[in-house]
């Protein structure tokens, strides 16, 4: 079989490890042949390809980013784009396609499978960890690790200056990074998009701390949090998502805290630092297991399905299950984190 591979959406640590594992397993175990598609779905729309063989994937396990490039191109957002994508699969002689991506990329893989019978297999990627059907997406725990390292450093400077530091982390619709990094970093308050933000509650926590002679604080906030004013600015991509980088919830929350408490407050936006660089050992291993399983799925004909982690096992589920509903932070999990607020 000749198998295409693409990486779509925001990049994340572990993409190259998936590519390496899928190609290694596919060639050595099943005798498949591979072709890389450049920049996500754009590569299929424009037949922009790159060779993918054992030599190309050698040494990729710890390399950040994606050797295939990525984009947020949506074939369904272009007149005739989906048909074009299906036709190009045939033109490129591809029998199957491994799509490594999040909700948007996998949503397209699912539609192309159902609308045109394309033989697609999905691998769940996103630092946001908001895909259903799997316990974890690869890249998530690396982003959390990066955020925790930042929080540790920000804590010592906050303490030295009796300041409040608001750490804005990624997470458009789901607060997984904020929750886990806040818990692991010992944050004094965490705000996630799933729950209505109450800046006065944060101020109350800070006052409790002052009363206990704790004059500094770390507040972790997801970029997708709105402070009651609903303000979101920035460009919209082909999947209709607004870039939140310019919304500045961290800055606005820091301003609010400074006004309400009279304390010095600073905001730090971690941004793309959370997506760059080498994956953690966990993500290298998870990405590798996903890649091996994706090659197995192609060989087994498990199309329209996505590799998934359930407990300690790698299984596969219909892509539909993963992209149907966003996996958000359950309120009871957040309630446990509240033990440490204030």
Binding site for ligand F6P (CB under 6 A): 9-10, 126-128, 170-172, 223, 243-245, 275
228: region left, alpha or beta (phi > 0 left; psi from -120 to 50 alpha): left
Q: Given the complex with ligand F6P, which of 168 and 316 has the nearer CB atom?
A: 168
- Please give the Cα distance from 305 to 283 (Å, whole number): 21
- For the question of residue 128 being annotated catalytic, the response is yes
128, 130, 283, 316: the active-site residue: 128
Give the count of alpha carbons within 13 A of 47, CB side only. Answer: 10
Least distance between ligand F6P and beta carbon 210 (Å): 33
Q: Where are the alpha helices (DSSP H) in 70-139?
A: 81-91, 103-116
Q: Taking the complex as a whole, how short is the minimal distance between the CB of residue 28 and ligand F6P, in angstroms?
A: 31
Smallest distance, Å, CB 121 to ligand F6P?
20
Q: Please give the structure tokens belonging to residue 239.
A: 């999947």
Residues 6+ apart with CB under 8 A from 156: none
Residues 110, 304 contacting (CB under 8 angstroms): yes
**CB of residue 130 to ligand F6P, shortest distance in Å:** 9
Q: Which is nearer to ligand F6P, 18 or 244 (CB)?
A: 244
Q: Which is nearer to ligand F6P, 201 or 241 (CB)?
A: 241
Which residue number, 9 or 36, has a Cβ lying nearer to ligand F6P?
Answer: 9
Say if residue 326 is exposed, middle or buried (CB neighbours under 10 Å; 0-12, 13-18, 19+): middle
Catalytic residue IDs: 128
């Amino acid at each position: 079989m000749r198998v295409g591979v693409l990486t779509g959406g925001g990049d994340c640590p572990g993409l190259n490890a998936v590519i390496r594992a899928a190609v290694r397993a596919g060639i050595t175990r099943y005798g498949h042949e591979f072709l890389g598609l450049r920049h996500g779905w754009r590569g299929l729309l424009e037949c922009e390809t790159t060779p993918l063989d054992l030599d190309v994937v050698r040494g990729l396990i710890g390399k950040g980013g994606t050797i295939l490039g990525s984009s947020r191109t949506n074939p369904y957002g272009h007149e005739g784009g989906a048909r074009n994508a299906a036709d190009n699969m045939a033109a490129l002689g591809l029998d199957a396609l491994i799509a490594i991506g999040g909700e948007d990329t996998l949503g397209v893989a699912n539609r192309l499978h159902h609308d045109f019978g394309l033989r697609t297999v999905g691998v769940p990627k996103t630092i946001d960890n908001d895909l259903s059907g799997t316990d974890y997406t690869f890249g998530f725990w690396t982003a959390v690790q990066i955020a925790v390292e930042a929080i540790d450093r920000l804590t010592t400077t906050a303490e030295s200056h009796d300041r409040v530091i608001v750490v804005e982390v990624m997470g458009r619709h789901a607060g997984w990074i904020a929750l886990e990094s806040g818990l692991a970093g010992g944050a004094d308050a965490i705000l996630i998009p799933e729950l209505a933000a109450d800046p006065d509650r944060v101020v109350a926590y800070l006052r409790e701390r002052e009363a206990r002679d704790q004059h500094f604080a770390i507040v972790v906030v997801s970029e997708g949090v709105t402070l009651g004013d609903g303000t979101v600015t920035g460009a919209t991509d082909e999947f209709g998502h607004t870039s939140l980088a310019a919304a500045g919830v961290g800055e606005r929350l820091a301003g609010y805290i400074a006004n309400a408490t009279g304390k010095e407050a600073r905001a730090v936006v971690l941004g793309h630092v959370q997506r760059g660089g080498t994956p953690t050992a966990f993500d290298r291993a998870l990405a590798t297991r996903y890649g091996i399983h994706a090659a197995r799925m192609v060989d087994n004909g498990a199309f329209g399905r996505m590799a998934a982690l359930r407990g300690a096992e790698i299984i596969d589920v219909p892509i539909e299950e993963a992209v149907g509903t966003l996996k958000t932070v359950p309120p009871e999990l957040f309630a446990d984190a509240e033990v440490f607020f204030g």
